[in-house]
Amino acid sequence: MAITNSLLATIMPYLPKVLVRPFAKPYVAGESIDSVIKIAKKLNDNGFSTTLDILGEFVNSKEEANKIKNAYSELIKNISSKKLDSTISVKLTHLGLGIDSKLGEENFNSLSLIGKEYNVGITIDMENSPYTSKTFEIYNNAIIKNEKLGAVIQAYLYRSLDDIKDLDKKIIPKSSQSTQLRDNIKFKNISFRYPSKNLLFEKLSFEIKAKKMTSIIGSTGSGKTTLVDLLLGFYKLYEGKILIDETLLTTHNQISFNKNIGYVPQIVNLQENSLAMNIALGIDRSMLNQQRLSEILEILDLTELVNSLHNGIDTNIGDRGVKLSGGQRQRLGIARALYLQPELLILDESTNELDSKTESKIFNAIRTHYPSITIIMITHRLSSLKLADRVILLKNNSIHDINMTNISDIDALETIIDSFS
């Protein structure tokens, strides 16, 4: 089969289209932009992202290279206008690199600017070794102006490992700057939907202030957790953008931003290990910061628990923390997040096992010890909402501020929620 495929790949460029079509049909989405866009849309609706390219490699003339560039430009514009979750993949020899390196670079730079304008990602498909160095040179120059570029590296080349290391040095640090949270997080005109579903958000905009505690409330399915997932980069926006202090959050700086986040889900994943190692998860025991750990245990009101355990912080808490109560497990999850010294603490229904007195004590201690920390809390508990600087209601694709001053019980809160259309 491998020999047959290799033979077909060799002779197909020289065959008439009428003979090529039966062999290519299983692998080709369509012969026109409209047909390809329809298939990409169908795949998106079923939960798949797509990468589109125009088949071919080498061209024989400048006119042919420019024709391919224009076809890619049209493809980019269609991806944008149809709001597809799609990128494009290009070979630089298809843009003229094999004829004239300057022509290939000019055509790619032109495409890169169009991709940036229409917010469509572009990946360079690496080719054989004679073009590798020039391809990286073009890529490294272009990514300065457009962060939504990527490169596919051939695994079989001896130089590939060094190329990966070089890209890591050049691109990641540059893109990872300016993602520290100092002033605000802005969701600007964001739209999002799950596959095969209607839009959950459509052009939704709001701001979260840094160094404050913001609680988000809303009915089941309103999108509270989805907002957090979008901020963490778990899902891709349909349109719009998220800004961290006016810096656009992208696939390139998302990892850097996430390193400054402590995230606590409703159900904390605990391991059959010591209490200490569950807090300092992934850190070697010899590298444990005892002072930081003791401080966090005090903040989370866990010191008494530790003192009651036979082996203190080295006591094994059992599979999934079975030896602890629900409230203790949740506090351990918060302790794990705080051990990372985050700028942003996200709590998704992660205090519902705590009594209101303990919850209030813990949050007062957190904000005293970490005055610069930003807290986003998803909750439905009245006691939690009373602790927040701002309470926002997410309802029917709109954000509403809730004044908690005169709300004494859950019925009063629900009355106010119902008053918003």
Q: How confident is the model at residue 2, as a pLDDT?
A: 43
**Count of alpha carbons within 13 angstroms of residue 299, beta-carbon side:** 22
- Digit-by-digit pLDDT tens for the chain (421 residues) are 444 444 555 555 555 655 555 555 555 566 788 888 888 888 888 778 888 888 776 788 999 999 999 999 999 999 988 888 888 889 888 898 888 888 989 999 899 889 888 888 888 887 766 777 887 788 878 876 776 777 777 665 666 667 666 666 555 444 444 567 889 999 999 999 887 678 899 999 999 999 999 999 998 888 999 999 999 988 888 889 999 998 898 877 888 888 899 999 888 888 888 999 999 987 888 888 999 999 999 999 999 999 998 898 899 988 888 888 888 999 999 999 999 999 999 999 988 888 889 999 999 999 999 999 999 999 888 888 989 999 999 998 889 998 888 787 888 888 888 877 6
Q: What domains can be seen in the chain, in order of their start residue?
A: 32-175 (3.20.20.220), 184-419 (3.40.50.300)
pLDDT on residue 164: 66
Retrieve residue 147's tokens: 């962060």
pLDDT at 174: 45
- What pLDDT score was predicted for residue 10? 54
What are the structure tokens assigned to 317, written together?
Answer: 């808490």
**Chain-centre distance of CA 334, in angstroms?**
22
Residue 136 is predicted with a pLDDT of 79
Measured CA to CA, the distance from residue 149 to residue 116 in angstroms comes to 9
* pLDDT for the residue numbered 14: 55
The token pair that represents 260 in the structure block = 């400054």
| Helix runs in 181-339, H state only | 224-231, 254-258, 275-279, 290-299, 303-308, 326-339
Note the pLDDT of residue 22: 57
Tokens of residue 421, six digits: 């259309």
Closest among 376, 412, 373 to 394, alpha carbons compared: 376
> In 133-223, at which residue ranges do the beta strands (DSSP E only) sit?
149-152, 184-192, 201-209, 213-217
Q: How high is the pLDDT of residue 26? A: 53
pLDDT value of residue 197: 78
Q: List CB contacts of 34: < 8 A, sequence separation 6 or more.
A: none
For residue 167, the model assigns a pLDDT of 66
The pLDDT, as a whole number, for residue 64 is 92
- Token reading at 318: 């059992």
CB 266 within 8 A of CB 333: no
Question: For residue 392, what pLDDT is reported?
Answer: 93
Tell me the HSE value of 359 on the side-chain side, using a 13 A CA sphere: 21
Tokens linked to 230:
């979008």
